[in-house]
Structure 1
Amino acid sequence: MVSSAERKMLGYIWQYVYTSFLRYWLKWFIRQATGTCELQRICSGNKPGATRTSKAEYSLRSSKNKRSFGSQQGSVRKCADQIMKEKNVKPQKDPLFKESLHICLLQITGNSSLYVSVENMRKEVFSSENQEHEAMLLKLWDLLMPTVKLDSRITKQWGDIGFQGDDPKTDFRGMGLLGLINLFCVKGLISYFRYSYAIVGINLTEMAYSLLKSGELKPHFYNTVPGTPELRQFHQLYCYLAYEFDKFWVAEEPESIMQFNQYREKFHTIVKTNLQDPDVNLTLTACSKN
């Protein structure tokens, strides 16, 4: 009887043999039989979205001709022209291919660019000496507690909107300015606080960030953004997580906020499972106008 470790090893061996030898000759044979390259077959055989772009991404990453896709639209178009030249694809014979390939490249490079933008925002440390940061924090209080005035900048009142200490800046250590900005996104989507709003919101920011970093959000963005995703789309994804978590929390009926970590992980698993659907679309209609 083959053990799980042995099956895993056999899987690694097969993957190595396939990617190193068989895949090349299989592609060559099909090219000779159909007169089209792998990327042409991917673009013509799949509708726009995650399936098509993911297959194109795998094909490009597996190609023996390694290249930089570029991050600007002009560079991406130039890369598309270069690929067509290398693959000997004639525009007159396949007039739709170039535009389909261009969209795939925009989505692939755009996902990487989005991560850089989000990471830069996360790395920006909240500073009480920065007037813009302080103004944003005080505005958050006014939005959430419009009829209550703060006694002082450092006060236990911050606990009323879910911060853990007397000074909110300590709660932003992990997610930086990204955590603060996202707390503004769901204003109006959730009618009242069922838990520690601020710290739960920052936790959900970490969830969105980790899903982006791992690449698990690619299918969602490939299905919903026909080009380069921007920070706006990431904030909309956060809105989805916050709104769905709120519904999830109510449906699960936890005994107390002390069980938050347990239910957070359960919700995280649900989201990751949904992201495995090639047609996934984690978009809130209520958020699309923000």
Structure 2
Amino acid sequence: MDDRGGSFVAVRRMSQGLERGNTCHTTSAEVVAGSAAWLGRGLSCVCAQRRESDARPSFDLTPSQEECLLRLQNRIDIPYDSSIPEHQEALKTLWKVAFPEEELRGLISEQWKEMGWQGKDPSTDFRGGGFISLENLLYFAKNFPRSFQDLLRKQEGDRAIWEYPFAVAGVNITFMLIQMLDLEALKPRNLVGATFLKFLAENESAFDLLYCMTFKLMDNQWLAMRASYMDFNAVMKATRRQLEGELLQEDITRLEDLPSYSLLSR
């Protein structure tokens, strides 16, 4: 994600309330600006760094896997553009599914901070994740509404005084998965990425589903580590390690077989 900096936004806990065709198989919360760099800046340390001279293996793909990877890469390449009506409507839909009882006053509004965006204009937070990060959030909200609401409203576990901002964390998760799975390469150059493409060839929504699992897994790690907002990178590192371990288990033929899938509730 863009690492040129910016202001970090943390959510202070006040209470336990809001507190392409398928051809391949409220209570109150206070949002405040802190002095640390925003979540996206630190994400580079979550993903392994390498020298340009480092040799990396390449894995051959089946025609079906190549097609599915290309479709996913096309999604990844689309930036969020606030001037495009489709993108505007997707953002409005996200608000509706997140807060069905509260009318959105505009695409630029202080209300967006309730969802964990850094400011009143969410479009500024999509620069690292692109439009696919919004699609990921929408998929999560529509397919696992109970888990989505639990994380949005921080309803589970013994929470820190300073919590991670939900929406910005979601963009970070999209970016982390793209790096972890090496999805911008012509061919996967790590075993985790090659393994994921097998799932993608069977289910074109595999990336969106893995996103949901990762978000829930990250929150579980957050609670287990009794983390506060300064611990976000450490939580993301632990999440990535666990997710990679699950993906490389033997005899796993679909994402639904991974242990993290059992964390999701519809």
Q: Give the TM-score normalised by the residue count of structure 1.
A: 0.55
Give percent identity, aligned residues only.
Answer: 26
The corresponding residue for 1:116 is 70
Structure 1 residues 145 and 242, CA, compared in 2 at 3 Å: closer, same or farther? same
Q: Residue 202 in 1 paired to residue 161 in 2?
A: no
1:209-267 deviation line (CA, Å, top 9, x unaligned):
22332542332453x57xx344312211212212222222222221x223211211121
1:168-191 deviation line (CA, Å, top 9, x unaligned):
111111221101000012221232
The corresponding residue for 1:268 is 240
Q: Residue 160 in 1 paired to residue 132 in 2?
A: no
Aligned counterparts of 2:75 and 2:139: Cα–Cα separation in 1: 15
Q: Give the TM-score normalised by the residue count of structure 2.
A: 0.60
Q: CA deviation at 1:286?
A: 8.4
* Structure 1 gap segments, 5+ residues each: 1-56, 62-106
* Structure 2 gap segments, 5+ residues each: 1-57, 155-163, 183-188
Amino acid in the other structure paired with 1:160: E
Aligned counterparts of 1:270 and 1:152: Cα–Cα separation in 2: 39
Aligned counterparts of 1:175 and 1:183: Cα–Cα separation in 2: 11
Q: CA deviation at 1:144?
A: 0.8
Q: Residue 150 in 1 paired to residue 126 in 2?
A: no
Q: Residue 231 in 1 paired to residue 210 in 2?
A: no
Amino acid in the other structure paired with 1:208: L
8 A contact 1:114–1:229 mirrored in 2: no
The corresponding residue for 1:241 is 214
The corresponding residue for 1:78 is none
RMSD value, Cα: 2.9
Structure 1 residues 279 and 210, CA, compared in 2 at 3 Å: closer, same or farther? farther
Aligned counterparts of 1:251 and 1:260: Cα–Cα separation in 2: 13
Of 84, 90, 103, 1:136 maps to 90
Of 222, 230, 233, 1:258 maps to 230
Q: CA deviation at 1:162?
A: 1.2
The residue correspondences of 1:1-290 to structure 2 (distance < 5 A) are 108-187=62-141, 188=145, 189-190=147-148, 191-193=150-152, 194=154, 195-213=164-182, 214-215=189-190, 216-222=192-198, 224=199, 228-254=201-227, 256-280=228-252, 282-283=255-256, 284=261
Structure 1 residues 131 and 220, CA, compared in 2 at 3 Å: closer, same or farther? closer
Aligned counterparts of 2:65 and 2:126: Cα–Cα separation in 1: 25
Structure 1 residues 277 and 232, CA, compared in 2 at 3 Å: closer, same or farther? same
8 A contact 1:156–1:165 mirrored in 2: yes
Structure 1 residues 286 and 144, CA, compared in 2 at 3 Å: closer, same or farther? same
3-state secondary structure, aligned to 2:205? helix
Aligned counterparts of 2:180 and 2:64: Cα–Cα separation in 1: 16
8 A contact 1:126–1:172 mirrored in 2: yes
Aligned counterparts of 1:158 and 1:234: Cα–Cα separation in 2: 25
Structure 1 residues 276 and 181, CA, compared in 2 at 3 Å: closer, same or farther? same
Which structure has more RCO (C-alpha within 8 Å, separation ≥ 6)?
A: 2
8 A contact 1:182–1:238 mirrored in 2: yes
Aligned counterparts of 1:180 and 1:174: Cα–Cα separation in 2: 11
> Structure 1 or 2: larger strand share?
2
Structure 1 residues 220 and 132, CA, compared in 2 at 3 Å: closer, same or farther? closer
Structure 1 residues 217 and 285, CA, compared in 2 at 3 Å: closer, same or farther? farther
> Structure 1 or 2: larger helix share?
1
